[in-house]
A and B are shown apart, each in its own frame.
Chain A
Amino acid sequence: MRRVLIPVLAPLLLLPLIPQPAVAHGFGQSYDLPLPLWLYLYGAGAAVLASFVPISLFAGKQKSGEDAPYLYPHFNLLRVGFLRALLTSRTLLSGLRLLSVGLFLLVVVTGLLGRQNADANFAPTFVWIIWWVGLGFFTAFVGNVWALVNPWKVIFEWADTLIRRLGARNGLELREPYPASWGLWPAVALYGVFVWVENVFPGSSTPVYMAVLVLIYSVLVWGGMVVYGKETWLRRGEVFSVFFGLLARFAPTEVRVVDPTPCQGCSDTYGTVEKGCVNCYERFARAAPEDRELNLRPPAVGLSRPEPLPPGGVFFVIAVLAGVAFDGLLETPLWNELRRDLSMPQVVGLVALPLLFFATYLGFVKLSQLSGGGTGGIRRYAAAYVYSLVPIAVAYQVAHYYTLLLVQGQGIIRHVSDPFGRGWDLFGTAGYSIYPGVVDAAFVWYSQVALIVAGHVVAVYLAHLVALRLFEDPGRALRSQYPTLALMILYTVFSLWIISQPIVVEEQSIETAPQEDSPQPAPMENLREPPMPDIP
């Protein structure tokens, strides 16, 4: 064992060097070490080389025709007796919904009444780590459970049922016609606000602010549901339903209604074919039991469908691609220098990044259209390719966050026993301390690179399927692929680059939200370089 003695001059006489820990991504510090340079270079090289694997293996071997994107192997889990009993169990479903509503209320109540310290309160760990990161992973790798347990939806349904029983025949919904031109723009705007809260808002992990934000959003969701109807708002304005719905396209499970008659009206978001509709949750809920399928399918096939997108649909996906990268980008030295040089507030970057992504995307799509000899406007091509980039974002999100979930997520064990931070010990776990060594740094590095390269290969494969459908002729499809391939390499290498950068802790002493247990640090002007320590 090597013994190291390090003399450290602990704090400065006047003030600490950096006044406040980073508050990026809502709450919770990752202990990840940045990817070493050599591994970053290997990863980038591997992504470029691996790009040609799907193309050379699958070139020109695709089935064509209207139904082609739905002709993937799938297996109906409801055909297995015990799975059918389990998955269609009313008790299980009601239990999950009750749990979800209970957790929702707990977040609000602990936020309002609990101790105002992010480490002691249930709300920050639950919302930012378990729900936002954890449920995102679950949705992408298992399936869309949010569509079942969304507490806003469940509470609205309860209220609606109650009011009908009390005699109001039409329930709570006014069902005003939703303006078609709005499309997904409400969800885009709300996603922007959410990313701002997550990454920029200094009070993102202050429990009381979180509770207030949840309440404000609740008013908005229920307002939208009352005015435009529950189903319309869930598809257009409830940003988390739209977000998890996007991730669910990557998932290895789907719900399918076999009888096509109830599928009308789902076409713009979920796709309709003669054989029924996939992931059209409201139709699924209404369909006759014998028409329902809960299918296991190859992952990511839900991202290769040539569906028409509502207005704002392409931009929403691009905004998600940018939003996912934003948190990591904020901590890179380059971004911080850029911000300092341009004296740019964080919020400018928040708006500029998706616009930059969008312009880049359209540029490469145009090139692809030109080199494939495609006719017509760019709109059709932009809509066709946009989902194919999602696997890279999913892979990056997992690479970036999985250690946070495994390490800081352990905090929830402590918080369930003492959700308010008042010294309770309901289940005897209040004293649990986080074990940081779940995964070794070297394993983290290799798995991060492997994940991102794998996501890249899936993305290239999906783009290839899309190209074959758009251009029909395999030769033209192949030529159209080089620009999209370049775009994907760019996005993949950008993702790898972010995780290879040393982490800069953001300096923000003035904007910091008040925390009960931490007095405000003094302003930056007083900083001095420390004198050299006396080395013994």
Chain B
Amino acid sequence: MNPDEINVEKGDFVTLRLTSESLVEVHVHGYDLEGNVSPGEETDLSFEADTTGRFEIEDHETEAQLGTLLVQPR
């Protein structure tokens, strides 16, 4: 994933604009967000970063880790 670490602050309204060269099911732990990304398309994952912590972002199908979401306290 690029960037492999996403740093935001608590209270931010975050939109992840996902693009991919292959079909992938992106899953953000803790926030339990999911987004299906198809090649050549943009998929937006929007959420309010209301919980601090370090959350893994994985490919839901293979459970392989793609990157990390870090929500820092204000």
Contact = CB atoms under 8 A, between A and B. Distances in A.
Contact of B11 (A1, A5, A12, A517): A1
A442 interface: yes
Interface of A (DSSP majority class)? loop
B65 A3 contact: no
Given A31-B53, A515-B63, A530-B2, 12 more contacts: A3-B12, A11-B59, A12-B1, A16-B1, A17-B1, A21-B58, A33-B70, A441-B53, A441-B72, A503-B54, A505-B56, A533-B19
Interface stretch (A131-139, A391-399, A432-440): A432-440
Interface in A1-35: 1-13, 15-21, 29-34
Given A29-B56, A530-B2, A21 B13 contact: no
B12 to A, nearest CB: 5
23 contacts: A1-B12, A2-B9, A3-B12, A3-B15, A4-B13, A4-B15, A6-B8, A8-B2, A8-B16, A9-B2, A9-B21, A10-B1, A10-B66, A11-B26, A13-B22, A17-B1, A31-B54, A32-B54, A33-B70, A436-B31, A436-B51, A436-B55, A437-B52
Contacts of B67: 8, 17
A363 to B, nearest CB: 36
Contacts of B63: 20-21, 515, 517-518
Contact of A17 (B9, B17, B65): B65
Contact of B6 (A3, A8, A9, A34): A8
Contacts, number: 146
Interface string A87-107: 000000000000000000000
Contacts of B19: 7-10, 533-534
B66 to A, nearest CB: 5
B17 A8 contact: yes
Contact of B1 (A3, A11, A442, A531): A11
A10 B62 contact: no
Contacts of B52: 33, 437, 440-442
A5 B17 contact: yes
Instruction: Pick the most buried of B1, B14, B37: most chain A CB atoms within 10 A of its CB.
Output: B1
Interface of B (DSSP majority class)? strand
Given A9-B19, A33-B72, A437 B50 contact: yes
Interface of A: 1-13, 15-21, 29-34, 433, 436-437, 440-442, 503, 505, 515, 517-519, 521, 530-534, 536
Interface string B35-74: 0010000100000101111111011011111110011110
Nearest to A20: B64
Nearest to A535: B17
Contacts of A21: 56, 58, 63-65
A6 B15 contact: yes
Given A11-B1, A16-B59, A441-B73, A6 B17 contact: yes
A3 B18 CA distance: 16
Contacts of A503: 54
Nearest to B15: A5
Contacts of B22: 11, 13
A441 B42 CA distance: 32
A9 B20 contact: yes
Contacts of A10: 1, 18-20, 24, 26, 37, 66
B21 to A, nearest CB: 4
A16 B65 contact: yes
A531 B3 CA distance: 10
Contacts of B59: 11, 16
